[in-house]
Structure 1
Amino acid sequence: MSSIVITGATAGIGRAAAILLASKQHKVFAAGRDKNALAELDAGYENITALEMDVTDGDSVTAAANKVIEALNGNAPDILVNNAGYAVVGPLEAVSDDEWERQFKTNVLGLVRVTRAFVTGMRERRRGRIVNVSSVAGRVTLPFFGPYNSTKHAVESISDSLRHELRPHGVEVVVIEPGAVKTRFGSLEQEQIAHWIENAPAYAEQLRILKSFHHDLHGKGADPITVAGSIVAACERHDPTPRSVVPFLPGSAFIAIKALLPTRVSDWIVKKLTGLP
């Protein structure tokens, strides 16, 4: 049995992973901002301790981390799962500075802040594991997804750097890269695309085509339980794969197209797949 902190645990992949980990007798600290969802997890599931945490607020993270360490008799958790995040979608020229800043404060700086809160204890103990939930979008970028995709590219880079930094100290770093998943996440992206169809007329036709492609992609997406299972595997395996795409297809195919083909060719394939002019 391991002690595990998971951020963004009140909905979607994070909630599914918290419940699945708890069902396997791990001691789970489920962190998030939604007080009602936290209360439901705390009351409804054995082995889950709800933890109010706003990853964009340093004081909130420090307070939550102190509660975890106190509950573990002064020790850092065995595993940290950095899952908190959301997506900003829209044309670069139309997305405001505030929206860009909030996106990076949550998806990137939030991950860094929570990691710092626990990594010292892991390093000093010379044992621990950090599981960063990135995305296929951290390797492949779709048009109009620049804000969100760029944060996941940053998570990939941070994870690679951290893996080498921490390996000599006995701390492992694992990256999970989900593709399209059937959660509220995709619906919120659809709502944003619809908003910009109305409010960024210069891009309206492109966005209508993208909305249709995105709807079809998420309609065929993975169940959140599938991704939750990959998070559980990353927590439980003795020697986990440093980077896993979930599900393997079509995510790995998109990544291979981007990585192996000349940019002109990969751009042409993106246009063909999305239908964008």
Structure 2
Amino acid sequence: MSSIVITGATAGIGRAAAILLASKKHTVFAAGRDQTALAELDAGYENITALEMDVTDASSVNAAAATVFDALDGNAPDVVVNNAGYAVVGPLEAVSDEEWERQFKTNVLGLVRVTRAFVPAMRERRRGRIVNVSSVAGRVTVPFFGPYNSTKHAVESISDSLRHELRPHGVEVVVIEPGAVKTRFGSLEKEQIEHWIESAPAYAAQLRTLKAFHHDLHDKGADPISVAGSLVAACESHNPTPRRVVPFLPGSVFIAIKALLPTRVSDWIVQKLTGLP
């Protein structure tokens, strides 16, 4: 059985994956900021140890990492899953500097900070695995999702670089790219779209159209348990696929459109799909 650290484990995909891994007798360190949710995980599930961690705070990450090393008798965990993140949605001109900075501090720098806390020990041991939860949005950009999409594009690039850096040292890097998932995540995105319909009238018509597209997308989204299953597979596989889209359709279609077609054509398709003029 493996020892696995999961950030953002108090809700959604992270929580589902933590519970599923624990049910399979792995030693799971479920990290997050929500103390009530952490206490529920700690008390309610065998093989789960709650780990208070704010990925934007270096001292918090270092303290949590020290707890893991102590629990594992000085050894690195077998797998670190970087799942913590959230989405900022809105017109680029309207999203504040503070919101942009907080978005990158969590989704990008938080991932780097957690990875840096565990990689040296994995490298020295010449064994370990980093699983980064990106998104289909890391390959395809949707209008008004620029802040969130750009962080996931960064995660893709960082993961590719890290995979090559760590391969000679026996440490694997895997990227999971979920599409729309039926979690609170989508509801929070919807709330932001509704906010900007009122607060950014120049974009109101476009945002109303986007709201309808977003509703349909998430209404038909994947169950978090199925996405968690892919995370579990990424942790357990002896030879994991370096990059996995979950579910395969329609996410792979979006990615193929962006990757294979000329920009004018892919732009037209994205505009038609989102209903924007």
Question: SS in structure 2 opposite 1:5?
Answer: strand
Alpha-carbon separation, structure 1, partners of 2:140 and 2:271: 13
Alpha-carbon separation, structure 1, partners of 2:237 and 2:9: 21
One-letter identity of the residue aligned with 2:116: R
Unmatched 5+ stretches in structure 1: none
Unmatched 5+ stretches in structure 2: none
One-letter identity of the residue aligned with 2:14: G
Question: SS in structure 1 opposite 2:225?
Answer: helix
Question: SS in structure 2 opposite 1:25?
Answer: coil
**Cα deviation, residue 65, structure 1:** 0.2
Aligned to 2:187: 187
Deviating 4+ runs (over 3 angstroms): none
Aligned to 1:143: 143
Aligned to 2:47: 47
Question: SS in structure 2 opposite 1:89?
Answer: coil
One-letter identity of the residue aligned with 2:226: T
C-alpha deviations, 1:247-274, integer Å up to 9, x for none?
0000000000000000000000011111
Aligned to 1:10: 10
C-alpha deviations, 1:203-258, integer Å up to 9, x for none?
00000000000000000000000110000000001000000000000000000000
**Cα deviation, residue 15, structure 1:** 0.2
Alpha-carbon separation, structure 2, partners of 1:58 and 1:275: 42
Alpha-carbon separation, structure 2, partners of 1:81 and 1:275: 35
Cα RMSD of the aligned pairs, angstroms, is 0.2
One-letter identity of the residue aligned with 1:44: G
Aligned to 2:248: 248
Question: SS in structure 2 opposite 1:245?
Answer: strand
Question: SS in structure 2 opposite 1:174?
Answer: strand
Aligned to 1:84: 84
Mapping of 1:1-277 within 5 angstroms?
Answer: 1-277=1-277
C-alpha deviations, 1:40-89, integer Å up to 9, x for none?
00000000000000000000000000000000000110000000000000
**Cα deviation, residue 156, structure 1:** 0.1
**Cα deviation, residue 22, structure 1:** 0.3
One-letter identity of the residue aligned with 2:169: H
* TM-score computed with the length of structure 2 as normaliser: 1.00
Question: SS in structure 2 opposite 1:143?
Answer: coil
**Cα deviation, residue 154, structure 1:** 0.1
Alpha-carbon separation, structure 2, partners of 1:2 and 1:121: 16
Alpha-carbon separation, structure 2, partners of 1:92 and 1:84: 23
Question: SS in structure 2 opposite 1:28?
Answer: strand
Alignment size in residue pairs: 277
C-alpha deviations, 1:12-34, integer Å up to 9, x for none?
00000000000000000000000
* TM-score computed with the length of structure 1 as normaliser: 1.00
Question: SS in structure 1 opposite 2:105?
Answer: helix
One-letter identity of the residue aligned with 1:12: G
C-alpha deviations, 1:172-210, integer Å up to 9, x for none?
000000000000000000000000000000000000000
One-letter identity of the residue aligned with 1:8: G
